[in-house]
């Protein structure tokens, strides 16, 4: 099982000015290919704090997925933080510079701001993911420890494009068809504590699938989650618990 951590970068997230829909989208797709998302972090636009968050993630996961901070402005610091954390120099990538200039020629009547050239700076030796929709390339950095860092833009459409086109297929090859599947059962007429008490034996006796409770207005959701090598195997694990609940 591949263990992953998601790192969302952006002070606007910490201020509550926007919701972190990227992390939710990524978590859902990663579960679908059997990648186990263990933790999620959110950090502001500060190199030192991003480096610290990368250190935490790389110490406890096989893959760290970073979203945000790849834009052209001075507060977009993910490139610098990854380079600092990995002990690499940022180098100007000629092909990316050509790509940026071509995008501005094709889609803008205005000259390209010099700041955009920052998006052609890449940690030395990193692989890049060419952007289709925007101007921010994604980054793939392998660490000596075997941990892989994947960095994608914070713009949701650009993030999803790179995840779908490059990152999810790479990770799916590592999990070899694995899946993390959940079933949600809705129970009415009982409170959360009563449901938990009734299902104590099931909760304590089942390691895979696991059992969890989610209270909401008028109902309690019981979530059963199985880790398996295929969807069919996950269904086989889940079905007996569904009947028992």
CATH number at residue 239: 3.30.70.2860
Domain carrying residue 144: 2-175
* pLDDT above 80: residue 238: yes
Please give the Cα distance from 35 to 167 (Å, whole number): 12
In this structure, the answer to whether residues 153 and 234 fall within a common structural domain is no
Q: CA torsion, points 132, 135, 136, 139, in degrees to nearest 10? A: 50
Same domain? For 9 and 98 the reply is yes
Full-model pTM? 0.90
Alpha helices (runs of H) in 90-244, residue ranges in sequence order: 94-107, 156-162, 168-175, 192-198, 200-205, 231-244
Residue partners of 113: CB distance under 8 A and separation at least 6: 72
pLDDT at residue 177, as a whole number: 84
Q: Is the pLDDT of residue 107 over 90?
A: no
Same domain, 87 and 171: yes
- Span 180-205, pLDDT tens digits: 999 999 999 888 999 888 888 888 88
Distance between CA atoms of residues 128 and 84, nearest Å: 17
pLDDT digits (tens, 9 = 90+) for 147-157: 999 999 999 99
| Residues 92 and 19 grouped into a single domain | yes
Choose one of 134, 155, 175: the last residue of a domain: 175
For the stretch 131-147, pLDDT in tens is: 998 999 999 999 999 99
First to last CA, the chain: 27
* Confidence at residue 166, expressed as pLDDT on a 0 to 100 scale: 98
3 state SS of 113:
coil
56 and 119 part of one domain: yes
Residues 120 and 206 in one domain: no
CATH at residue 31: 3.40.980.10
Which of 31-35, 96-100, 105-109 is predicted least confidently? 105-109
How far, in Å, CA of 222 to CA of 196, rounded? 9
Distances (CA, A) of 160 to 123, 157, 186: 22, 5, 31
Q: Which residues of 41-61 are buried (b: 16+ CB within 10 A; e: fewer)?
A: bbbbbebeebbebbeebbeeb
């Amino acid at each position: 099982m591949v263990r992953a951590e998601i790192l969302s970068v952006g002070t606007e997230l910490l201020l509550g000015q926007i919701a972190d829909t990227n992390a939710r989208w990524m978590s859902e797709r990663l579960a679908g290919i059997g990648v186990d998302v263990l933790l999620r972090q959110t950090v502001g636009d500060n190199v030192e704090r991003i480096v610290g968050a990368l250190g935490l993630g790389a110490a406890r996961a096989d893959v760290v997925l970073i979203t945000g901070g790849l834009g052209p402005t001075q507060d977009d610091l993910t490139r610098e933080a990854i380079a600092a954390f990995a002990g690499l120099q940022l180098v100007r990538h000629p092909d990316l510079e050509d790509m940026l200039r071509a995008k501005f020629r094709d889609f803008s009547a205005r000259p390209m701001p010099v700041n955009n050239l920052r998006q052609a700076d890449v940690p030395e030796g990193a692989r890049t993911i060419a952007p289709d929709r925007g101007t921010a390339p994604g980054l793939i950095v392998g660490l000596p420890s075997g941990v892989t860092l994947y960095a994608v833009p914070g713009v949701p459409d650009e993030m999803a494009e790179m995840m779908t086109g490059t990152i999810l297929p790479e990770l799916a090859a590592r999990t070899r068809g694995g899946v993390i599947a959940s079933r949600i059962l809705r129970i009415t007429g009982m409170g959360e504590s009563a449901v938990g008490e009734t299902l104590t034996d099931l909760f304590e006796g089942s390691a895979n699938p696991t059992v969890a409770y989610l209270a909401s207005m008028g109902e309690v959701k019981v979530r059963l989650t199985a880790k398996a090598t295929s969807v069919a195997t996950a269904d086989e694990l889940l079905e007996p618990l569904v009947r028992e609940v």
